[in-house]
Structure 1
Amino acid sequence: MGGKDTKLCLFYVLIIILLGSCASQKYPRIARSVNQILGEETSDKHFTGIFFYDPASKDTIFSKNSNKYFTPASNTKIFTLYTSLKLLPDHIPALKYQFSNDTLRIEGTGDPTALHPHFQDSTLIKFLNGYSNITLYPANFQEDKFGPGWAWEDYDWYYSPERSGLPLYGNVATLYQQDSVRVSPDYFRDSISTFREARNREPDRNQFYYDINAADTVEIPYRTANLTTKGLLEKMLGKEIRIDSGMAPTPKKVLSGMRLDSVLKRMMHLSDNFLAEQLLILSSSTLSDTLSSAKARNHVMDGFLVDLKQPPRWVDGSGLSRYNLFTPESMVYVLNRLYHEVPRERLLHFFPAGGISGTLKEWYPGVQGPYVFAKTGTLGNNHCLSGYLITKSGKTLIFSFMNNHFRLSNGEIKHRMQKVLETMRDSY
């Protein structure tokens, strides 16, 4: 390399360094305060990425490792929220169907609300009750039951139901005690044992175990299968359901179900993994008859988010997978798109409020009301928080705060994060 090329290369390196430090130069007091907080803990022993952005002035207020990739955990649901708002109508598609020759032909859309323990939506059942001859076509679901990189040993825990094309009862069996052990749906009544076992369910079949001494209500994911869906529907409807491999090549009608916003709010506030996964599958139903979360993800990344500077590795809707990789800047980018595309009151309604609701009920309380509206994301040794912060001056900041591979307790990490958030609230 010649002397001129070397000087030119050094010039560009200097420009990059200056640009990277411009936020600190523009807001040096904030940078000093935040860096002091970050230095109080053993932050050199784990990875931290932070990005604070003012959407009004388009200023970067503070940045640290903001273009580096982190495991986001349930912060992934922010991308699922964005996808759902872009692709789904106000009332979610509950079913696709055709009717001819006295037969109703149906296929699922991935709608997670049918007979769900919380929503208890009966739209599907009321509709099917009006027909005598029903044929189910399940072949449009082209996903694995579990997402890539999910922990296989979590199969019997409430937060890890299987994905499916026509979910019923949230794809969980709910066990509880009254005068005896009961289960909903009643279809699984003969599949309950009260023996004390290490697992809640057999790995490969719907044999459930319930500890009668616990006296708790327990939700246990059931094994999904076409015959299980058929049996559940037949039990509820009191009529036979046939299964076939393909619908006729004629237009399909769409049955409208619940309001989208109520499903999105529960997904975000409770960090509901099942809803997140099914919402991506549901979103794909608006693009074609094939149910595939990858189809929805690719559509968003190749279209709405094609100009994202650091494209993520995005493999599921919930963030259960450790294969997911996102940067703080990418999180803020999507949050900024939401901020400008969704009315403020509706947008903040989706996010847990600090000290008030959801996964933030015990953290980040305000003095005269919540100042943080954000989504948490937690896996073992990882904790992230991304969303919106209202400063004392009334300005709104968009932020992403990611912590990976720490050996401290989650509480210690959150205390440090709270100090940073309060500094931003009070200083800007």
Structure 2
Amino acid sequence: MNKRLTLSASPSSVCLNGKLLLGLLLACVVLSRCTVQSIPKNKIRKMVESSAINRDHYTGFALYDPEQKKMIYEMNADRYFIPASNTKLYTLYTALQMLGDSIPGLRYVNKGDSLIFWGTGDPSFLHSTLKSTKAFDLLKHSSKRLFYSPTNYKGDFYGANWPYDNYKYYFQAEINDMPVMDNVAVISADGKGGLKIWPAYFKVYLQQDTSFHPRSFEVERSLTENKFRYPAMPVPANFRQEIPWKTSPELTLALLQDTLKKPISLIRLNMPDSARTLYSASSDSVYKRMMLPSDNFIAEQLLLVCSSTLRGGALSTSAVIAHSIKNYMSDLPDVPQWVDGSGLSRQDLFTPRTTIALLTKISAKLGSEERMHNLFPTGGVSGTLKNAYKTDNGVPFVWGKTGSLSNNHNQSGYIVTRKGKKLLFSYMNNNYTRPTADIRGEMVRIMTQIHEQF
């Protein structure tokens, strides 16, 4: 007689087994998600450390997962590197903390029949691209006597510790309290075989010099004054050259009078705390102009604008850097050695992991990816990354700030993988002797590989 084997279970044991099964299923789901979302450190290490190019110079690399709040991989991430224009990330974050929706354009007081004004360092005043006219309109339409006071800036016309010997004297626009029209003269062919200069104020200072014999046609400015000379050679039909002028309060006054078509007097009066503030261009438009083409002039002036909001209103790069480090960056992994707004100084020194921490702060402060994408160069689309990367079937995947000086090239920013993983990276290269194109190409290759594989 065949006996049937039966298994019976009590209701309590069924319930227990069901909970166990559910727990196992949930564990499998969690493990599955971790497997999908986690990027293996060893794979990133192999990508970076197997590169012969990365091994022949001083390389720093950090890749961070903001969702899991952990560093995926680090190579010399705690070592200091010359950041070049990656410094503009620190300038951007300071401006985001200290400025509102619009840039402070002028400080002024009304005193009887007079209007006395002080500059804030605002780079947007009659700027060729930003085209802010709010301060201009205030001065143009005022019925009061105008007085310009340059007393709130006592700094140098170049940034701290800039390598003067590496730059021809008219390479970089000078820093001052009240920039006018980019602080740059534009000389171009006039279509009649001659030259024209803008602003037209400088026309009388543009002279032919028969003793000047350059290899090709160019205009040269005197080292110490605004005298421009050109050779006795045919002017190329498409000739155009930009030359920063030598700034001074007297020149600023002359340019303002020439542009406003009304008299202005120079006065040296300390700015009272009661001085009102006139706001000019939208802040994001200025930040974008700094970030996309990596505009050094905008970066330096932005720090002065930030300093104008400090107590007393004096314009000082060193004061605002100290304020920013103390109040907004005290929690960074390594204290930045930071001396200018643009990164032209080789005395700027930051670590990759500190730049990662700063990128996290910038992302939180911006508040949206749309705003970040608007302000940062985009691989294959805009700014200094337009020609470095290709898009992935028309979709960009990297947003970042480049930084270049001779023998130094860096990138720091945000990358999205094909699986939708959002990561932060800082990739720094110092003291190499091979062509910069090799360094740039290797960075692009590795970052694109990270995008494609994860």
Residue aligned with 2:63, SS? strand
Structure 2 counterparts to residues 276-425 of structure 1, below 5 A: 276-288=299-311, 289-342=313-366, 343-368=368-393, 369-425=395-451
Per the alignment, residue 46 of structure 2 pairs with 32
User: Partner letter of residue 383 of structure 1?
Assistant: H
Determine which of 205, 212, 227 is the counterpart of 1:191. Answer: 205
Shift of 1:297: 0.9
1:114 aligns with 2:125: yes
User: Partner letter of residue 95 of structure 1?
Assistant: L
Structure 2 counterparts to residues 90-239 of structure 1, below 5 A: 90-131=101-142, 132-153=144-165, 154=167, 156-158=169-171, 160-178=172-190, 179=192, 180-195=194-209, 196=212, 200-210=220-230, 213-214=235-236, 215-239=238-262
The aligned length equals 401
Structure 2 counterparts to residues 46-125 of structure 1, below 5 A: 46-125=57-136
User: Partner letter of residue 98 of structure 1?
Assistant: V
Residue aligned with 2:90, SS? helix
Shift of 1:126: 1.4
Deviation per residue, 1:268-292 (Å, 9 max, x gap): 0000000000001001111131001
Distance in structure 1 (CA, Å) of the matches to 2:130 and 2:388:
27
CA contact (8 A) 2:49 2:55 kept: no
Deviation per residue, 1:199-251 (Å, 9 max, x gap): 72111000123466344221111011011011111111222211222146461
Shift of 1:119: 2.2
Shift of 1:106: 0.2
Distance in structure 2 (CA, Å) of the matches to 1:238 and 1:29:
66
CA contact (8 A) 2:220 2:228 kept: yes
CA contact (8 A) 1:30 1:427 kept: no
User: Partner letter of residue 348 of structure 2?
Assistant: N
* More displaced stretch, 71-80 vs 145-154: 145-154
CA contact (8 A) 2:195 2:235 kept: no
For normalisation by structure 1, the TM-score amounts to: 0.90
CA contact (8 A) 2:39 2:72 kept: no
User: Partner letter of residue 222 of structure 1?
Assistant: W
Residue aligned with 1:107, SS? strand
1:245 aligns with 2:250: no
Distance in structure 1 (CA, Å) of the matches to 2:273 and 2:98:
23
Distance in structure 2 (CA, Å) of the matches to 1:399 and 1:209:
47
Shift of 1:410: 1.0
* More displaced stretch, 129-138 vs 247-256: 247-256
Residue aligned with 1:298, SS? helix
Per the alignment, residue 17 of structure 1 pairs with none
Shift of 1:137: 1.1
Per the alignment, residue 31 of structure 2 pairs with none
Distance 1:197 1:124, change over 3 A: farther
CA contact (8 A) 1:155 1:203 kept: no
Q: What is the aligned-residue identity percentage?
A: 36
* More displaced stretch, 93-102 vs 207-216: 207-216
Distance 1:422 1:248, change over 3 A: closer
User: Partner letter of residue 391 of structure 1?
Assistant: T
Shift of 1:423: 2.3
Shift of 1:155: 5.1
Distance in structure 1 (CA, Å) of the matches to 2:44 and 2:333:
26
Residue aligned with 2:415, SS? strand
Distance in structure 2 (CA, Å) of the matches to 1:25 and 1:298:
37
CA contact (8 A) 2:118 2:271 kept: no
* More displaced stretch, 289-298 vs 70-79: 289-298
What 5-or-longer segments of structure 1 have no aligned partner?
1-23
For normalisation by structure 2, the TM-score amounts to: 0.85
Shift of 1:120: 2.7
User: Partner letter of residue 167 of structure 1?
Assistant: P
Distance in structure 2 (CA, Å) of the matches to 1:94 and 1:329:
35
Residue aligned with 1:311, SS? coil
Distance in structure 1 (CA, Å) of the matches to 2:239 and 2:130:
20
Distance 1:305 1:376, change over 3 A: same
Deviation per residue, 1:294-343 (Å, 9 max, x gap): 12111110011112221111000000111111111111111011112212
Residue aligned with 1:124, SS? helix
Please say which structure displays the higher CA radius of gyration: 2
Deviation per residue, 1:49-105 (Å, 9 max, x gap): 000001111121121001100111000001011111111111111100000210000
Per the alignment, residue 33 of structure 2 pairs with none
Distance in structure 2 (CA, Å) of the matches to 1:267 and 1:344:
19
What 5-or-longer segments of structure 2 have no aligned partner?
1-37
